[in-house]
Amino acid sequence: MPSPMQNPEQSSRRNVIAVVATVILIAGVLIGWQFSIDLAQARVRAAQGSVLVSTPCGPIEYQEAGTGAALLVVHGAGGGHDQGMALAEGLAQQGVRVIAVSRFGYLRTPMPPDASPPEQADAHACLLDALGIRQAAVLGASAGAPSAMQMAIRHPGRVSALILMVPLAYKPVSVADSAPAPSALAGNVLDALVGSDFLFWAMQHMAPNQLIRRVLGTPPELVAAASPAEQARVKAMLDIILPVSERAEGLRNESKIGNNLQPYPLEAIRAPTLIISARDDGYGTYASAQYSASQIAGARFIGYDQGGHLLIGHDEETQQQILNWQRLYNPVP
């Protein structure tokens, strides 16, 4: 019963506020609980299957699967050994020894004072030394392409074949862009995501299409129309990025490299080279991929009109092209 100083309307309003506050509190607790569970599972998942090996270039984390001719998989931004293995695990079942590395600043591979692509390339060679591998094919995906190219330039005897998927690569200003540069707002959003596991997790649940477009560089409408297998692949690629906090150093280094791309002496690359991209890649790799192919003697370029950065709708074909290239130029020793 309301007090003499409190009318029924005020009492009702206070009751509603109390109920709303209680609901918000419960929702916050449930959200925090679910986030903690998902983050713990992501940490376990990120550590599965990897080994940390000591090398003259420092500790390097890697994961290995399959037997046969060696393929070193160099992951893209937001990755690690887990992303690399996700890209190539199908090849491990077809006579390929897949070695997926975690680059500088990703997961358990520490960030050295110099994390430039040439230094990363030297670290790739150090990993092959530690594994007793004289020569391997090298697959550089997205932001893994600069160090893959540098390995072919700096350690030509170690690279039997070079494969570049949607590569982050230099092109001169005279070559037209294949996609507009990201807006300042998009850049700020990405910076915020890099700094927060919770924010990335929340975006996965509340705005997955924005992550697909802005982080994975792929039109979400393509994903919506894709097969269930392709949709599952996209979801797995997003899931792999969490915990983003364990990849933050590498991601920040990626931004420095991407903002200061320099021309490489691509004419020095002698390894048979296959380069694949899609015209609608949100990161604009199509134009730079074409340019790189024009500068590497004998390089083969495969370009799709649609597919985005994840080459949606072309995964099976891409895997087959990589397998054919591997078998042709990197046979079992």
Is 54 a member of any domain? yes
Q: What is the pLDDT of residue 195?
A: 75
Closest CA to 86 of 239, 307, 275: 239
Is the predicted pLDDT of residue 16 greater than 70, yes or no? no
Q: Which tokens sit at 233?
A: 């692949």
Q: What is the pLDDT of residue 2?
A: 46
Q: What is the mean pLDDT of residues 271-290?
A: 97
CB atoms near residue 155 (< 10 Å)? 16
Is the predicted pLDDT of residue 3 greater than 60, yes or no? no
Is 8 a member of any domain? no
* Domain with 265 in it: 48-179+247-329
Q: What is the mean pLDDT of residues 125-141?
A: 97
Is 157 a member of any domain? yes
Nearest-angstrom CA–CA distance, 307 and 300: 19
Q: How far is CA 104 from CA 111, 122, 228, 269, in A?
A: 5, 12, 33, 23
Q: Report which DSSP code applies to 51.
A: E
Is 128 a member of any domain? yes
Q: What is the mean pLDDT of residues 155-168?
A: 97
pLDDT in tens, 288-313: 999 999 999 999 999 999 999 999 99
Is 230 a member of any domain? no
pLDDT in tens, 224-242: 999 999 999 999 999 999 9
45: region left, alpha or beta (phi > 0 left; psi from -120 to 50 alpha): alpha
Nearest-angstrom CA–CA distance, 240 and 232: 12
Nearest-angstrom CA–CA distance, 48 and 214: 28
Q: What is the mean pLDDT of residues 91-115?
A: 96
Q: What is the mean pLDDT of the chain?
A: 91
Spatial contact of 103 and 61, defined as CB atoms under 8 Å apart: no
pLDDT in tens, 28-60: 666 778 899 999 999 999 999 999 999 999 999
Using DSSP, state whether 304 is helix, strand or coil: strand
Is 160 a member of any domain? yes
Q: Which tokens sit at 58?
A: 């420092």
Strand partners, 163: 139, 274
Q: Report which DSSP code applies to 170.
A: -
pLDDT in tens, 67-89: 999 999 999 999 999 999 999 99
- CATH code where residue 320 lies: 3.40.50.1820
**% the chain with pLDDT above 90:** 80
Spatial contact of 214 and 194, defined as CB atoms under 8 Å apart: no
Is 26 a member of any domain? no
Q: How far is CA 145 from CA 166, 208, 270, in A?
A: 8, 26, 16
Is 163 a member of any domain? yes
Nearest-angstrom CA–CA distance, 49 and 132: 20
Domain count, the chain: 1
